[in-house]
Amino acid sequence: MSLWEAIWHIGVPLVAVVAMTVAVFVAFSDPPDKFFRPSGWQWAWVGLWLMMAGDAAVGSNRSWFERAWKGAVALLVAVAVIVAAWRNYRWRKRVRLADDSAPPVTRPSRSDA
């Protein structure tokens, strides 16, 4: 195995798994208001994730190592997105409840008419 093959077959997957592990850590540690939904060209990342998850699940003629690292990366991406979205949802709900405090209740005056 040449150096370039080793980098491509071992180095790239290792970097991808480490990067997605960092993404999961960031999803847990960043403030929830920094979460954003993809728009425009950013939806391409969803397509790439689906392709990677598909390769991991049913990748014909792929080595077990390639299927394993693609599955690990797809799982870590899914966990990071779900955690970030859930934290953002809870944060937005909490902010909305704090802003929509009930106005003071006043009783209508009784008129004996």
Q: How far is CA 108 from CA 66, 105, 112, in A?
A: 72, 9, 12
Identity of the residue numbered 19 = A
Count of C-beta atoms within a 10 Å radius of residue 66: 15
Q: pLDDT (tens digit, 9 = 90+) per residue, 3-42?
A: 888 888 888 888 888 988 888 888 888 887 777 776 777 7
* Chain segment 78-90, per-residue pLDDT in tens: 888 888 888 888 8
**What is the number of residues in the chain?**
113
Beta-carbon count within 10 A of 79 CB: 16
